[in-house]
Chain A
Amino acid sequence: MNPLMRRERGPLSGPGIVVAGLRKRYGSAQALDGMSFSVRPGVVTGFVGPNGAGKSTTMRAILGLSAVEAGTALIGGTPYRRLRRPLTHVGSLLDAGALHPGRSARDHLLWLAHSQGLGARRVDAVIGQVGLASVAGRKAGGFSLGMRQRLGIAAALLGDPPIVMLDEPFNGMDPEGIIWMRGLLRGLAGQGRAVLVSSHLMSEVQDTAGHLVVAGRGRAVADASVAELVASASGGRVVLRTTAAARAMGLLARAGATVASDGGESVTVAGLSAERVVALLNTNAVPFSEVSAHRASLEEVYLELTREAVEYRAATSEVPR
C-alpha cells in the first residue's frame, strides 16, 4: 500500500466528503480510474494534480453532474442528488464564468437563494462577505475573472454550508485577491467546515492546505497531511556541508550510505542518521560546517508524485498504438 494513502481512521467527526472508487470513461480516455479520498471538516484539503488528472471530473461527480460507471461520492453519507436544499450542505464553485451575462450579480445570487428557500438578506450578506457590495447591481457579464471568482465564492457561501468545494478558485485572481482567498479558505476551515480546493499549481495551495490529495491519471496518488507528505519525500536524508566533499563521500559510502554531491560543498546522504554521520566525520577528522535533515519542498513532492502520470500521457500521445 502506498504509504502516502491515508489509513482508515474511523468515522468522520462531522459532515465531509467521501469519494470511493470512482471510475468514468470519456470515449477511450479513462478520466477517473478508482479515484478515492475523503475531505474532513476543519481543514483545507488541497486537491492538486496536473491538468487532466481528473480533478474537475471528480468534483462534477461529487455534485451529481456527471454519472460515474462505478464508485460512490457521498456528502455526509448521502449522494448529492438526494440532498434537500443542497446548497445548505455543499457550496461549490466549478466555473466562475457560469452566469448569465445580462443578469446582475445580486440577481444571480437571488435566484440561487430562492432555489434554497433563502431570502434577499442572505444574498446581501454574502455579497458583502466577498467584497462585491459596490458592484452588486451591475451586470455580471462585465465582471473581470477575479470578480467572477468572488461572485462564485459568494454563491458557494450562500447556503452557509458545512462543506465548501472550489475548483481552481485562484484562477484570474490578482495578488491581493489570492491573499484574500487564502485567508477566506483558512477562515472557513477554522469555522469547522470541510474545504476542498483544487489547483493544478501546488504553490497556490501549499500555504493554505493542511491536507493534500494528489491526483494523477484519474486516481489519488497521495492522500495525506502536508507534514506526512514532506516527511515521506524527505526520506530521512541528511545534508552535509563540507569543504572536503570527496573525502567525506568516500568515507560515508564505505559506511553503507548512498551519497550524492551537487559538485560544490553540499553532499546529500541517505541511509545513515545525522548522528552517525557526525560521529563518522569526527572520528576521521573530516571538517564540516553543517549537518542537517533534508526537507523536501512540496513542489518536489508534487513533481515526484505526478511525474509518472505526466510521462505516461506524453508516451501515449507520441507513440500511436
Chain B
Amino acid sequence: MIASRSGRDGFLPVLRAEWTKFRTVRGWVAAMSAAALMMVLVALLAGMSGGPRNGSPVPIGPGGEAVTDSFYLAHRTLSGDGGITVAVASLETVLPSGPGGMEPGVVPWAKAGIIFKRSTDQGSSYVAIMVTPGHGVRMQYDYTGDIAGPASPTAAPRWLRLERSGDAVTGYASADGTRWTEVATVRPRDLGGTVHGGLFVASPASVDGPGTLPSVSTADFTGLGVHGGWSAADWTGTQIGPDSPTFAGYPPPASGAFTDDGGRLTLTGSGDIAPATREILATGGTLRDILTGTFPALVAVMVVGTLFITTEYRQNLIHVTLTADPGRGRTLAAKAIVLAVAAFATGLTGALAGGLLGTWLAEAGGVYVFPVPLSAALRVALGTAALLAAASVLALAAGAILRRGAAAVTAVFAVVVLPYLLIAVPFTPSAVSNAVARMTPGAAFAVQQTLTPYDQVDSVYTPYTGYYPLEPWAGLAVLAVYAAAGLTAAAVLLRRRDA
C-alpha cells in the first residue's frame, strides 16, 4: 500500500475538491456575486447623487491636485528678473467668538510674506516666502512644495526676500535686514515671463476638534524694497479667489483689506494658498466614498467565509472532508485559498466596475472627485480585493476555531465590522479612531485612501474624513497579520482536536 507522509502531490486534488465544494453551493456563489454587485450599486448611487449646481469650479494646481487659492494680495507686475524685500513687522490673527464677535487667536499656519505668482487666476504657479506663527519662516511653491527656513527668530521684524533669476527663485530670510540666510532656490513649474509680485496674507481655518473655525489675519509690512523689471503702477490690493469651493469666505463682519500708510503697509486676509484637504473641500468626493459598497461586500464575504467551514461542523461533513484528506492543515489551507481567490475576484470586479462607473457618473454630475493617479487607482482596486480576501480568510479561521456559525460570525463582526463603524461615525474621538485604524483589522481600509495629508496644512486628518494613520499597504498588512494568525491558530486546533 502506498503511503504518503506529505503533501505536495496531494495538494492539488484537495484544492480542486474545495473549489468544487465552494462552487456547488448556490448560496455562496450568489452571496459573492451579490457582494460585487453591491459594490457597483453603491458606487452608482454615490455617483448619481450629483454635485453643486452652477458652483465655481474647484481650483486645480499645476500638479493636478485640488488647491485652496484664496488669500489677500497687494501686487504689481514683474517682468523678467528682479527681487523684492520686506520686513514683516507683525502678524495677528482673530477667530470668531459668538455672533458677530472676534477675538485674538493663534493659527499656526497663518501666512504673511512675499510672493511671485503667474497670475491672479486660482491655481496658477507661484513661489512665496513667508513667516508663520507656528512654523517659522517657510518657502512654499506650487501649493505642495514646502521648505522650512530658519525656525527662529520669532521676534519681529522678520525680513524676507525673493529674487528671481530666469526660472529660478531664491528665498532669503533675515533677523535684521543685513545678515541674510538663503532658504532655498526653487523652480516653480510654470511661472511665466511676467509675474504678479507683492505682499500677501493668508489665514487658514483653525482646526477645532472635528471641525474648523474661519480665521482672519492682519500683517504689517515695513521696509518694502524692489528692484528689476517692476511695473510703475501703485500696489493694488486684490482678493484672490473670493468665490471658490475651497474658500469659506470671511467671517462677518471681517473682510480683506490693504492700506498703505506711508511705507507701513497693512494687509488683512483670510483663506490659504495650499493644497486642498477634504475638510476644506467638503463637497469633493473620493474614490473611497464611491467604494462604500466595500462594507456590505465585506459582510457578505465574511459570512460566506465563516459558513464555508461551520456548515461542515454543523452537518458533521467535516468528518467526510477529513477522511477524504487526512492532512488537516492542508485541507484548511485549500479552503483558505479557494475563499481568498473567490473574495479577491469579487473585490476586484466590484472595485474596478464600481470605481470606474461611480467616478464617471460623479464627474458627469458635476462632483469634484479628488484625483487618483493610475498607480493609486490600481492600488485601491487590488487592495480592496485583497482586503476582502484577507477578511474572508479571517472569517474562515474564526469558523474553524469556534466551529459554530453564529459564534464565528459574531466574532468576526466584532473584530472587523465594529472597527469599521467606529471609523465611519463622525463623532468618534480622533484618538480612538486613529488607534482603531492602527491596531484592528479595520486598519485595512487605509488601502482605499486617495487623499494626501500635508504637513503644511492643518486640517481634520481622521479616518472618518479619509485620512488613515497607516500607509495603505501597511494597513492592509495589519489585517493580513490577523488573518494569518487566525489561520495558524485554526490549523493548530484542527490538528489537535478530535474532528
A and B held together in a complex: yes
- List chain A positions with a Cβ less than 8 A from chain B: 15, 60, 63-67, 75-78, 80-87, 89-90, 92, 94-95, 97-104, 107-108, 110-112, 114-117, 155
Given contacts A83-B326, A84-B10, A116-B324, contact A102 B315 (CB under 8 A): no
The minimal Cβ–Cβ distance linking B18 to chain A, given in whole angstroms, is: 8
The 8 closest A-B pairs by CB, nearest first: A115-B17, A84-B4, A107-B24, A111-B20, A81-B326, A115-B324, A98-B316, A114-B17
Q: CA of A60 to CA of B323 in the docked complex: distance in angstroms?
A: 10
Contacts of B319 in A (CB 8 A): 60, 63, 65, 94-95, 98
B325 touches A100 (CB 8 A): no
Q: What is the chain A residue whose CB lies nearest that of B312?
A: A100
Contacts of B312 in A (CB 8 A): 100
The minimal Cβ–Cβ distance linking A109 to chain B, given in whole angstroms, is: 10
Contacts of B315 in A (CB 8 A): 97-101
B325 touches A94 (CB 8 A): no
**6 extra A-B contacts, CB within 8 A, seeds A84-B9, A107-B20:** A60-B498, A82-B5, A86-B324, A86-B326, A95-B316, A103-B25
A99 touches B326 (CB 8 A): no
The minimal Cβ–Cβ distance linking B320 to chain A, given in whole angstroms, is: 5
A86 touches B323 (CB 8 A): yes
The minimal Cβ–Cβ distance linking B85 to chain A, given in whole angstroms, is: 80
Contacts of A107 in B (CB 8 A): 20, 24
Contacts of B264 in A (CB 8 A): none
Contacts of A98 in B (CB 8 A): 315-317, 319-320
Q: What is the chain A residue whose CB lies nearest that of B326?
A: A81
B498 touches A65 (CB 8 A): yes
A-B contacts, CB under 8 A, total = 109
Contacts of B53 in A (CB 8 A): none
B24 touches A114 (CB 8 A): no
Q: CA of A107 to CA of B317 in the docked complex: distance in angstroms?
A: 14
B26 CB within 8 Å of chain A? yes
B14 CB within 8 Å of chain A? yes
A64 touches B20 (CB 8 A): no
A89 touches B323 (CB 8 A): no
B63 CB within 8 Å of chain A? no
- List chain B positions with a Cβ less than 8 A from chain A: 1-5, 9-10, 13-14, 16-21, 24-27, 311-312, 315-317, 319-320, 322-327, 498-499
B3 touches A84 (CB 8 A): yes
Contacts of A102 in B (CB 8 A): 25-27
Q: What is the chain A residue whose CB lies nearest that of B318?
A: A98
B20 touches A86 (CB 8 A): no
A selection of 17 A-B contacts at a CB cut-off of 8 Å is: A60-B319, A60-B499, A65-B319, A80-B323, A81-B326, A81-B327, A83-B4, A90-B323, A94-B319, A94-B320, A98-B316, A100-B315, A115-B16, A115-B17, A115-B324, A116-B13, A155-B320
Q: What is the chain B residue whose CB lies nearest that of A67?
A: B498
Given contacts A65-B498, A103-B25, A114-B20, contact A15 B317 (CB under 8 A): no
The minimal Cβ–Cβ distance linking B26 to chain A, given in whole angstroms, is: 6
B2 touches A84 (CB 8 A): yes
B1 touches A111 (CB 8 A): no
A110 touches B4 (CB 8 A): no
Scoring B5, B312, B322, B325 by chain A CB atoms within 10 A of each residue's CB, the highest score goes to: B325
Given contacts A65-B498, A98-B315, A102-B25, contact A114 B16 (CB under 8 A): yes
Q: CA of A115 to CA of B330 in the docked complex: distance in angstroms?
A: 12
Contacts of A92 in B (CB 8 A): 323
The minimal Cβ–Cβ distance linking A89 to chain B, given in whole angstroms, is: 7
A89 touches B17 (CB 8 A): no
A100 touches B317 (CB 8 A): yes
Q: What is the chain B residue whose CB lies nearest that of A94?
A: B319
A111 touches B499 (CB 8 A): no
Contacts of B324 in A (CB 8 A): 86-87, 112, 115-116
Of the residues B13, B316, B498, contact of A94 by C-beta under 8 Å? B316
Contacts of A116 in B (CB 8 A): 13, 324
Of the residues A82, A99, A103, A114, contact of B3 by C-beta under 8 Å? A82
Q: CA of A83 to CA of B325 in the docked complex: distance in angstroms?
A: 9
B25 touches A76 (CB 8 A): no
B13 touches A117 (CB 8 A): yes
Of the residues A67, A103, A117, contact of B24 by C-beta under 8 Å? A103
Q: What is the chain A residue whose CB lies nearest that of B2?
A: A84
B1 touches A15 (CB 8 A): yes
Scoring A80, A81, A84, A112 by chain B CB atoms within 10 A of each residue's CB, the highest score goes to: A84
Q: CA of A151 to CA of B404 in the docked complex: distance in angstroms?
A: 25
Q: CA of A90 to CA of B322 in the docked complex: distance in angstroms?
A: 13
Contacts of A78 in B (CB 8 A): 1, 3
Q: What is the chain B residue whose CB lies nearest that of A159?
A: B324
Q: What is the chain A residue whose CB lies nearest that of B27?
A: A102
Q: What is the chain A residue whose CB lies nearest that of B5?
A: A82
The minimal Cβ–Cβ distance linking A60 to chain B, given in whole angstroms, is: 8
B17 touches A64 (CB 8 A): no
Q: CA of A117 to CA of B499 in the docked complex: distance in angstroms?
A: 23
B26 touches A111 (CB 8 A): no
Contacts of B10 in A (CB 8 A): 84-85
The minimal Cβ–Cβ distance linking A99 to chain B, given in whole angstroms, is: 6
Contacts of A85 in B (CB 8 A): 10, 13
